[in-house]
Structure 1
């Protein structure tokens, strides 16, 4: 049954690049996320950050007029995730307490395409991007004002550029990073 549902989703994503998850699928994905990441809303950090993870503060991101740094951060994270899932891969976009999605990043965000659901920037609730196998993604924490990227492949393609946008990280592998 699960493989049949996966096949139906695969065909739908080919036709519709952004699909809201059904109630059952959304619960399944969130349950797995809670379990695998030890998600505890309202805490800091709210997940057990994987060994292959880097977390940055977002506290000063919006201090400059024009939001150029925010736009650059969004572009870097979206490009990194897109390159890691490949031309036919899909991602989950989870928005705590709101609808969540499965989408094809290669078919979203460009001219004439639907926008990516959510943003890596957590504007009020937790925003999470996850690969289908949960091996990589991003976790935006709204109250801590932080962004965690995880997964070796994503870190390899995006961490240096995120450092340029946000400055030094605050945690690596879930452990605080001291002053340089």
Structure 2
């Protein structure tokens, strides 16, 4: 089975419309407008630290491990890339030879990993260089399995 399944055009419009509405999403490069989305509680936002390549490998490993801990083996979540193709993603399936389609590190785009009912999520801000976690289950998993590039907490509820 494929762990990255592209959303159809209808699915894409549905999930992005729901995201814009639910999170009052307003993308911006201007610091006065950050974090660019309203957050449900509880949430925790980490500033990302400088890194080397092995830190990004560790980030991927810990993100996948944390997502596996709170999803069922057959469960797909949303993996969204703002203004680009987005996917259903299953963290339990092996990535195989393919590279990650959507990164756990914000390298110039907004990337979001969300439970289908938006009960929890991993939100990346490309210009603020932050990761926001929301939902008790996901926050708890990352407290247990915190990546080394998660620096200071800059916001919390």
Query: TM-score, with normalisation over the residues of structure 2?
Result: 0.88
Query: CA offset at residue 113 of structure 1?
Result: 6.3
- Higher strand proportion (structure 1 or 2): 2
Tell me which residue corresponds to 1:103. Answer: 89
Q: Taking structure 1 as reference, are residues 153 and 120 closer, same or farther at Cα in structure 2, changes over 3 Å only?
A: same
Aligned length: 153
Equivalent position SS for 1:56: strand
Structure number with bigger Rg: 1
Distance 1:152 1:75 in 2: 20
**Which segments of 5 or more consecutive residues in structure 2 lack a partner in the other structure?**
none
Please point out which of 90, 106, 110 is paired with 1:126: 110
| Structure with larger RCO (C-alpha < 8 A, sep 6+) | 2
* 2:17 pairs with 1:31: yes
CA distance in structure 2 between the partners assigned to 1:104 and 1:28 by the alignment? 19
Q: Normalising by structure 1, what TM-score?
A: 0.77
Tell whether the 8 Å contact from 1:127 to 1:139 is kept in structure 2 after alignment.
yes
> Partner residue of 1:3?
none
Over the residues paired in the alignment, what is the CA RMSD in angstroms? Answer: 1.8
Seen in structure 2, the aligned counterparts of structure 1 residues 167 and 124 have a Cα distance that, compared at 3 Å, is closer
Runs (5+) with no aligned partner, structure 1: 1-14, 174-180
